[in-house]
Amino acid sequence: MVHGKKLVKETLLLSVLEDGDEETENEKLQLEEHKATRTEVGMRGPKDQHSNPDGNVLDRGEREGEEEEEEEEKGENEEEELGGEECVISDEDYDTDLELEGKGEPYDLTGRTCYMEACERLQVAPASYFLRHMQENELSMMYYGLGPQGTKALAVPLVTNTSILRLNLRDNWMEGMGGAAIAEMLKENCYITEVDLSDNNLGDHGARAIAGMLKENGTLVSLNLSGNHFTDLSAKHLGPALITNTKLRHLDLSYNALGEHAGQILGDSLSENTGLRSLSLAWNSIRGFGAVILANGLGGNIFLRTVDLSYNGFGKDGATALGEALKENNILEELNVSNNRIPPEGAIRLAMGLKENKTIKSLNMGRNPIQSAGCYGILKSIQENPDSAMEALNFADITVNQDFEDLYTAVKEIFPALTVNHGGRIGTFSKAKA
């Protein structure tokens, strides 16, 4: 059992060394020789035992007389010659892995040894912080500059680590190779529930590895992939994974380069996803038809509670589709569509959905060119929906007129807990207080 765990770590170490360049070929050959040697030791038993070419075990006395025995019995059948030797071996002469552990090769439960070996083979300096904190529940190594090789070394002991539940490796420039190593580790580790891989330049190669992991991992609850230069190709890999995975609850894909095609793929996936409770697609380039399909996907999703779509390009068509989605979706509670180039007409169309929605508690429409007319339309829809759950409206940096102020006063009588934030009233210099 223990020997098996050693081989698991060594197997991962071998896999993370596979970079495709000539320099790592020698490292892989050395590791395979190392594995073969350790396996051979496990089969031999005590140090004073040796195996003959046929695999039979001989003790020290038998080995000394082997040459004389071969000369005296030359020409006889080899099987008869060895038949009695097997009976000489007693149970005490055979060592199991656990017995080897007590004879100078104890199994490293902490993973320190295999980490040091991995660092040596990958020619990177061991991270002292990791060595000090590898047995705690949370490991936070932001901005440590691990790079691809350092990340791969770190992944080896994490395969069998049972202490760490939350792993934060933000901004370590691990790139696709390092991301792939972490993904392979998470296929085996069934203890880590929260992972932050943001700002690591994973790229499309890393996204593909992460997608493969999500199809197999049944433990991960929260995953932050913000700022990793994901493109529409990344969405092509991640989309199917979001349909397969039912355990992931929180996913952050903000600050990437997901475009119109990514919106279509993710929209189709969200309509079938049954796990996510919160999703951030902020600061991407989702617009046009992709924004419409994504909005349709949200309409069909019955599990998401919080969605951040800020800093995209939904425009009028996207806002109209969101309005239709809000008519169908009675699960969503928080929606952020700030900075989406939504015009007044788009705000009015979105407001049509708010007239029927019973669950939205927070809506952020700030920094959109909806003007006072758009703000008025949204607030009016709240007034006309007696079942509205709205608690907070955000119209940041949008100035409103006196008509909006008067309507807000009237709505407060119906929904006294409602708060509204806006950019001030036209004709005044001070911001209206929410």
pTM of the predicted model as reported, rounded to 2 decimal places: 0.78
Question: Model confidence over 143-193: pLDDT tens digits?
Answer: 999 999 999 999 999 999 999 999 999 999 999 999 999 999 999 999 999
Question: Model confidence over 295-334: pLDDT tens digits?
Answer: 999 999 999 999 999 999 999 999 999 999 999 999 999 9
DSSP state letter for 68:
H
Q: Which secondary-structure segment (H or E) carries 117?
A: helix 112-122
Least Cα distance to 34 among 2, 53, 1, 9 occurs for 9
Pairing of strands 57-58, 50-51: antiparallel
Angle at 99 between CA 93 and CA 101, to 5 degrees: 145
Over residues 51-80, the mean pLDDT reads: 45
Long-range contacts of 316-319 (CB under 8 A, 24+ apart): 316/342, 316/343, 316/345, 316/346, 316/349, 317/288, 317/291, 317/292, 317/346, 318/287, 318/291, 318/292, 318/294, 318/342, 318/346, 319/346, 319/347, 319/349, 319/350
- How many residues does this entry show for the chain? 434
The one-letter amino acid at 321: A
Among all chains, which residue has been given the structure tokens 């409206």? 393
Question: Model confidence over 355-395: pLDDT tens digits?
Answer: 999 999 999 999 999 999 999 999 999 999 999 999 999 99
Distances (CA, A) of 424 to 345, 383, 392, 432: 21, 21, 16, 5
Cα torsion for 238, 240, 243, 249, to the nearest 10°? -10
Question: Range with the lowest mean pLDDT among 24-33, 90-99, 279-288, 326-335?
Answer: 90-99
Q: Kindly report the average pLDDT of the chain as a whole number.
A: 83
For the chain, domain boundaries = 2-101, 113-422
Please report which confidence band the pLDDT of residue 92 belongs to, taking 50, 70 and 90 as the band edges: very low
- Relative orientation angle of helices 23-44 and 112-122, to the nearest 10 degrees: 150
Is pLDDT of 431 > 60? no
Question: Model confidence over 73-89: pLDDT tens digits?
Answer: 544 444 444 344 443 43
Angle at 115 between CA 109 and CA 118, to 5 degrees: 140
Angle at 227 between CA 223 and CA 229, to 5 degrees: 110
Alpha-carbon gap, residue 109 to 5, rounded angstroms: 10
User: Is residue 299 within 8 Å of residue 325, measured between CB atoms?
Assistant: yes
Domain boundaries 113-422, CATH class: alpha beta
User: 3-class DSSP state for residue 252?
Assistant: strand
User: Is residue 311 within 8 Å of residue 336, measured between CB atoms?
Assistant: no
Question: Model confidence over 348-365: pLDDT tens digits?
Answer: 999 999 999 999 999 999
Alpha-carbon gap, residue 360 to 289, rounded angstroms: 24
User: Is residue 179 within 8 Å of residue 154, measured between CB atoms?
Assistant: no
